[in-house]
Each structure stands twice: as structure tokens, then as C-alpha cells.
Structure 1
């Protein structure tokens, strides 16, 4: 079995990382859309209204951001929007004093993986953010 070329290897790594992010986003958005009452019941007290309509709206926003991120032509826009969404989640957890490493910074971890996946799969992002030379 031959080894993949460097560009092909980068794309595989990128889509693997992006796939992990998209899987999490799909589960989170799906939960908010399909069973918002269960999501509300299992969410920590974050100080947002416990209304199923609000959770459904958040699910739609997250699903749209995830779809934009999944499509190569709109992936950068999707990553930017996801970064904003995740930043709100980090701020909300920080405000209520959630555990730092597990809850508060989870949005940061997910954002780093999302941008890392995009960096590996899109040469335009690598040109814009030249991490490795």
C-alpha cells in the first residue's frame, strides 16, 4: 500500500478533523431541534430562558453554521460563524462559573479543531495562516 502524497494526506487530516467537529455539531443541533425539552433539562443553569423555542432557534443557527462549514466554497464563512457561536458558549459558561477545563473551554477546543481541520483541507487558509513552513 502506497503512502498518500503530502497534499492528499493534509486533506485527509483536514476532513477527519472537520468531520469530528461536524459530528459534534450535528448531534448538538439535532438535540436542540428534536428534543429541546430534554436539552433544557440536561443543561446546566446558564441563565438563559428554558424555552423550547429558543433552543430550537439555537439548533437552527448551529445547523446553518455547520452546513456552511461543511461546504468547501463556504467553509471559511462557516468557520467564522462557528467561532462566534462558540465564543458565546464560552462566555456563557465563564459567566456562571462552569468548570474551566471541561465546560468553559470546550468551545475553544472545538473552535481550534474546526480551524485546524480547515487549515489542513484548504490551501487558501494555509496561505493566510502560515503556521508550518
Structure 2
């Protein structure tokens, strides 16, 4: 039996440029942080993204109009505060977020709400922002 291999596909894979190792390592840390955060969640995010700026990654967990999910994220990761502020460009929207640092990587859960009832507050601390 004649066994042949497609050397072209192996050569293409072998010659593909690799990302610089420090950037790859930073990405791997961000992926691990995302996995660690998600493993603690009871409410799954609507979207998860990784954003890189100057070699550092941030994990973003977006919840569609669900401040309770952001608070659940904060509780699951033992965070002291959730920040809620009105959108300065609109009286009818507010922004709620909580950020944890996992393995040195910022993991931010956030939502944008369309409502009139949100106030500027820092939940869990009893202080106003």
C-alpha cells in the first residue's frame, strides 16, 4: 500500500508565524482567568471578550441589562463592591460593573441598564460614588 503525505500542508503549518512569546503568555493568562471566573458563576454572561492593549489583556463579561448578574459575579468572587453610575450622556441609563483580578488579569463584569431607578452607588460598602 502506498502512503503519501501532503507535505505542502505540513510546511504551511510549520512556517506560520507564531505570536511573540510574551504576548502569547499574556493571552494564556487571560484565558485562564476567564476560565477561573466562569467556573464560579451561576449566571452565564451574554458575551465574553478578551481585549489586548500594549501586551496586557482584560477579560470582559457582559450581561445584557442584568445588574443582579453583576452582583452575583461580585459575590461569587468575594468582591467588596459593585459600582453603579448614571450615564452622564443620558438620564435614562446606568452602568454597573465589578472587577476582580485573577492571576493578575482584570476580569470585569458589566451591564448597561435602561431605567430611571438607578442611582450612583457603591454597593457593599455603603458609600456613594
Q: Which has the higher contact order (CA 8 A, sep 6+)?
A: 1
Give the TM-score normalised by structure 2: 0.30
Specify which structure has the higher proportion of strand.
Answer: 2
TM-score (norm 1): 0.29
